[in-house]
Amino acid sequence: MPSVASPVSPARRVAAAVLRRVEDEGAYADRALAGEAARAGLDGREHAFATALAYGAVQRRRTLDHVIARLTRRPPGQLDPPVRDALRLGLLQLIFLDGVAAHAAVDQSVELAKAAGGPGYRLVNAVLRRASREGRRIVEQLDDRTPEGAALRHSVPDWIARMWWESLGPDEARALLARVNQPAESALRVNTLAAEPVAVAAALAGREVAVRPAQLDGRLPGGEGVPDGEGVPGYGGAPGGAAAAVLSLPEGLVADGAFDLRGDPLFADGALLAQSRAAMAAARLLDPQPGERVLDLCAAPGGKTTHLAALMGGSGAVVAVERHPGRAEALRRTCARLRADWTVAVETGDASEPRRDGPFDRVLVDPPCSGLGTLQGRPDLRWRATAESVAELARLQGRILAAGAAALAPGGTLLYVTCTISPDENEGVIEAFLDADPAFALDDLGAELPRLRSRRAPRTLQLLPHRDGTDGFFLARLRRSS
Ligand SMILES: C[S@@+](CC[C@H](N)C(=O)[O-])C[C@H]1O[C@@H](n2cnc3c(N)ncnc32)[C@H](O)[C@@H]1O
């Protein structure tokens, strides 16, 4: 029999397969997408469209299901899963994606439902035709003046919107919620153990990948801490004594749009890796020096471990502790690929246990967290995290911080970092630790980068995706006096 080409575009088929795997198998959307896209052999354009569809439908699930319920008058849970997926994908295109013709969005979802068999395609056709006229208005009418209304409009669980409302205030919380459904910035770090940033930027430009230098702008809109115009490696003293208020990330690059990093020879050579500007700030703010001993608690997959080794110029020692054996093994391979294995010793172990190999000059504590600062790049995370898990994580984070602090030499520096916007896991952990241990004090990072300071604990930093364009990391730097 001659093969019959599917009437559904490859990107939409891949997106539908990802939705199925996320719902049926509890798969992570980013990993399912990588697998399905490779299997289908998607090219760059199709891959970008499949990503927008799959990420968007998973992220905006709550809002899309609200529209489905309005237009079908039944809870989406009562629909056949393939019919519901076809509706979610169709509505996403009609309501939220620019540049997709309405007739294509409707017809392609009808074909997806037909491919699943049964009469459900008729419902898909009727609902999407109505949605092409009314869908945007239904969403625009959702009132985001309360946390619950904003949660429905921007598709997060109520508890996340309430937490951000309380900690950031309504305006900032609404802006953040609007941002968490946008694509994440594509930031890269040049591994200076293997290559020079200028040479890498030139090589990328030769392949028509446009990149720009990376930094974190800590200047207040009013102009506090205006830099002198020079790139300052690390933050701090600009000529004349004024605070630069810009954390420069000389090894960082920001690409205009996504590009196929893993297919690029620079990746295979260990010269380039994906790392957000927020994550790069951690090693930069810890500021390890060549020859020092550094403890890195909770280290896999190793973006920060290898950054520490690179900043130390390959001299000194990093002890990287990771509890999960498979992740520890992957970290060893990453260190070898990035030429950091001379400096880094990976230990499979529990970071909350007391250390016998101290003292260390510097300690990085990057414990497991709820990850709510990374919702743009991890589409299903918002549906996995729970308010209860936050409390449990905060207890573990406190124990790991205490173990790291106990291993620090007098006069040494500790950086506590999370990739979340969750006061109990961030400021709360630091406050409880400082109350219990008078030998430690907070450096005033907020004075150096005032725009980035946390509202609740102004000596610490809380990065915010809508304001800073990068992941929502929390960073606190502690010094041990005795
Ligand atoms: C936030 S991630 C670390 C990211 C890493 N520092 C980087 O920059 O790539 C947290 C890591 O801690 C590990 N982990 C969780 N509990 C741990 C524990 N008690 N001891 C050590 N590692 C732990 C997790 O497996 C995970 O790899």
**Using one digit for the tens of pLDDT, what is the confidence trace for 87-135?**
999 999 999 999 899 999 999 999 999 998 889 999 999 999 999 999 9
Between the CA of 298 and the centroid of ligand 1 the distance, in Å, is 3
Residue 298 among known ligand-binding residues: yes
| Residue 300 Cα: closest atom of ligand 1 | 27
Q: What is the pLDDT of residues 53-87, one digit of tens each?
A: 999 999 999 999 999 999 999 899 999 999 999 99
Q: How confident is the model at residue 223 (pLDDT cuts 50, 70, 90)?
A: low
- With the most atoms of ligand 1 within 8 angstroms of its CB, the residue from 273, 298, 366, 372 to mutate is 298
CATH of domain 10-141: 1.10.940.10
pLDDT beyond 70 at 235: no
| Residue 301 Cα: closest atom of ligand 1 | 9
The type of residue at 174 is R
Between the CA of 335 and the centroid of ligand 1 the distance, in Å, is 16
| Residue 305 Cα: closest atom of ligand 1 | 8
The sign of the torsion formed by the CA atoms of 114, 116, 119, 123 equals: negative
- With the most atoms of ligand 1 within 8 angstroms of its CB, the residue from 294, 322, 331 to mutate is 322
Give long-range contacts, CB 8 A cutoff, 24+ apart: 46-50.
46/9, 46/10, 46/11, 46/14, 47/11, 47/260, 48/257, 48/258, 49/9, 49/11, 50/10, 50/11, 50/12, 50/14, 50/15, 50/18
| Residue 352 Cα: closest atom of ligand 1 | 19
Q: What does the pLDDT read at residue 262? A: 83
Q: In this prediction, what percent of the chain has a pLDDT beyond 90? A: 87
Residue with tokens 């921007």: 154
Q: How confident is the model at residue 314 (pLDDT cuts 50, 70, 90)?
A: confident
Contact yes or no for 370/385 (Cβ under 8 A): yes
- How many whole angstroms separate alpha carbon 140 and alpha carbon 217? 33
Residue 366 among known ligand-binding residues: yes
Q: How confident is the model at residue 222 (pLDDT cuts 50, 70, 90)?
A: confident
The question of ipTM being above 0.85 is answered as yes
Contact yes or no for 193/309 (Cβ under 8 A): yes
pLDDT beyond 60 at 232: no
Residue 350 among known ligand-binding residues: yes
pLDDT beyond 50 at 239: no
- How many whole angstroms separate alpha carbon 166 and alpha carbon 183? 25
Between the CA of 8 and the centroid of ligand 1 the distance, in Å, is 41
- How many whole angstroms separate alpha carbon 122 and alpha carbon 109? 11
Between the CA of 472 and the centroid of ligand 1 the distance, in Å, is 17
Q: What is the pLDDT of residues 356-412, one digit of tens each?
A: 999 999 999 999 999 999 999 999 999 999 999 999 999 999 999 999 999 999 999
Q: What is the pLDDT of residues 164-210, one digit of tens each?
A: 999 999 999 999 999 999 999 999 999 999 999 999 999 999 888 89
- With the most atoms of ligand 1 within 8 angstroms of its CB, the residue from 323, 332, 474 to mutate is 323
Between the CA of 323 and the centroid of ligand 1 the distance, in Å, is 7
pLDDT beyond 50 at 1: no
* Ligand 1 surroundings by CB, under 6 angstroms: 298-304, 321-324, 327, 350-352, 366, 368
What average pLDDT does the segment 246-253 reach?
A: 97
| Residue 396 Cα: closest atom of ligand 1 | 19
Please give the model's pTM, rounded to 2 decimal places: 0.94
Between the CA of 410 and the centroid of ligand 1 the distance, in Å, is 25
Residue 300 among known ligand-binding residues: yes
Residue 197 among known ligand-binding residues: no
Give the 3-state secondary structure of the chain. Answer: CCCCCCCCCHHHHHHHHHHHHHHHHCCCHHHHHHHHHHHHCCCHHHHHHHHHHHHHHHHCHHHHHHHHHHHHCCCHHHCCHHHHHHHHHHHHHHHCCCCCCHHHHHHHHHHHHHHCCCCHHHHHHHHHHHHHHHHHHHHHCCCCCCHHHHHHHHCCCHHHHHHHHHHHCHHHHHHHHHHCCCCCCEEEEECCCCCCHHHHHHHHHHCCCCEEEEEEECCCCCCCCCCCCCCCECCCECCCCCECCEEEEEEEEEECCCCCHHHCHHHHCCCEEECCHHHHHHHHHHCCCCCCEEEEECCCCCHHHHHHHHHCCCCCEEEEEECCHHHHHHHHHHHHHCCCCCCEEEEECCCCCCCCCCCEEEEEECCCCCCHHHCCCCCCHHHHCCHHHHHHHHHHHHHHHHHHHHCEEEEEEEEEEECCCCCCCCHHHHHHHHHHCCCEEECCHHHHCHHHECCCCCCCEECCHHHHCCCCCEEEEEEECC
Residue nearest to atom 15 of ligand 1 (CA): 368
- How many whole angstroms separate alpha carbon 211 and alpha carbon 188? 9
Beta strand pairing call for 408-418 and 474-480: antiparallel
Residue nearest to atom 25 of ligand 1 (CA): 324
Q: What does the pLDDT read at residue 258? A: 73
Domain range summary for the chain, segments of one domain joined by +: 10-141, 146-181, 188-480
CATH of domain 188-480: 3.40.50.150
Which of 192, 371, 390, 216 lies closest to 298, judged by CA? 371
Q: What does the pLDDT read at residue 145? A: 95
**CB hemisphere CA count around 28 (13 angstroms):** 9
Residue 303 among known ligand-binding residues: yes
Interior angle at CA 226, CA 221 and CA 231, nearest 5: 120
Residue 304 among known ligand-binding residues: yes
Rounded mean pLDDT of the chain? 93
pLDDT beyond 50 at 228: no
Which of 283, 211, 291, 223 lies closest to 247, judged by CA? 283
Q: What does the pLDDT read at residue 44? A: 84
Between the CA of 373 and the centroid of ligand 1 the distance, in Å, is 16
Q: What does the pLDDT read at residue 243? A: 53
pLDDT beyond 70 at 225: no
Catalytic residues: 419
Beta strand pairing call for 344-348 and 272-274: unpaired
pLDDT beyond 60 at 303: yes
The type of residue at 382 is R
